[in-house]
Copies of this chain bind each other. A is one copy, B any other.
Amino acid sequence: MELSYGAEHEAFRREVVEFLQTHRDQAPGSGRGASALAWQKLLIAHGYAGRTIPKEYGGYGAAPDILKSRIIAEEFAKAQVSPGLGGQGISMLIPTLLEVGSEEQKRDIIGPTLRGERIWCQGYSEPGAGSDLANLRTKADLDGDEWVINGQKIWTSTAHLADWIFCLVRTEPDAPKHQGISFLLFSMKSPGIEIRPLIDMTNGHSFNEVFFTDVRVPAGQIVGKRGEGWKVANAILKHERGSLADPNVMLSRLNGIKELMRSETIDGRRLIYSPVFRDRLMRVEGEVMAMRCNDLRLLSGAVNNADVGIAGMIVKLQTTELRHELERLAIDVMGEMGVLYGEGAPHLRGNGSWQWNYMFFLGLIIGGGTSQIQKNIIAERGLGMPREPKLAIG
């Protein structure tokens, strides 16, 4: 058990801290304006963004080092400075292309995407293909040297901001359902694309529905071969280590509740003196602490290439439920104050973030594999329990 990062990495941490002190004035706020793009370039140049992406594709070209990545994330978070651009192009398409893209795709696409010059959205989910993603129906027919795409996608975050989409479509309607899918890339400016905002229960617009009507895409804009789209989409899954929720965020939310309990009163009495809420707080703190330790174990397992059993498999299930529970506690602590919501609402605490997260994390419990799917996975892959038997009728 050795929880320090060691001398080399502590030296690296000092470098990062120094960089942040020197350059933090240049850091942008939110959004993707010119300053954000400039900041991204600076980060790439220093290896704080695109760190392990080869130089020839526009990255920094460092060898993978999980601890250094973690240090970068920690220090940027601590300094409350933008860690550079995110989004599904950077987090999902680039790793996919690195894994299975053609040399030309890597050269043409990774650089602009990494620098934020091309914004992507992801076209996977469909109304009829949620937990059962392979059931997707959006189809692409080859007409000469063009695909003609018809169908609908949903949960397309940033579709309204994106330049391009990476999209799963059914190209071989007669093949078994996992084998008839292809992975296409095309411009969101293509004629025949309609984007409708998908308002969610937070009143927010984080997602969209996207409709395709005879959208024409050059035949070459495919990653992998025809019918290999399922494999392509899953190519990067093996790199995931279940670290959906940063436990440090959870910790800072927890501290937020402590603050609330110190300031919030009922009949003039501060809520920190309510033993019942304090007990709930400590319960949540214990769970947060356990998930932090679990995360340390995962990090260490990744660094040392050690087996961590089911510790990774459970993260999504446990953290989304825990966050939802944590935010709910804050609402209960506030009582009637806790139901206030909406920009500029009088007396609003934390800018409405408690209710927002309470609802958003219910969305995350569902999204990206519902809790039911997660439990199936844990039971089957983690505990070696049998899959459900096949049905008599299909």
Contacts and interface: CB of A to CB of B under 8 A. Distances in A.
A392 B391 CA distance: 5
* Interface of chain A, main secondary structure: loop
A105 to B, nearest CB: 42
- Tell me how many chains of this kind the complex includes: 2
A390 interface: yes
Contacts of A275: 274-276
A42 to B, nearest CB: 52
A287 B94 CA distance: 54
A358 B389 CA distance: 36
Contact of A276 (B279, B389, B391, B393): B279
Interface in A265-286: 274-276, 279
Interface string A362-389: 0000000000000000000000000001
Interface in A230-271: none
Contacts of A279: 276
Contacts of A391: 389-392
Nearest to A278: B276
Contacts of A389: 391-393
Contacts of A274: 275
Nearest to A389: B391
B390 A393 contact: yes
A276 B393 CA distance: 52
A293 to B, nearest CB: 25
A338 B274 CA distance: 26
14 contacts: A274-B275, A275-B275, A275-B276, A276-B276, A276-B279, A389-B391, A389-B392, A389-B393, A390-B391, A390-B392, A390-B393, A391-B391, A391-B392, A392-B392
A393 B392 CA distance: 7
Nearest to A279: B276
A392 B390 CA distance: 5
A28 B238 CA distance: 72
Nearest to A394: B392
A302 B204 CA distance: 50
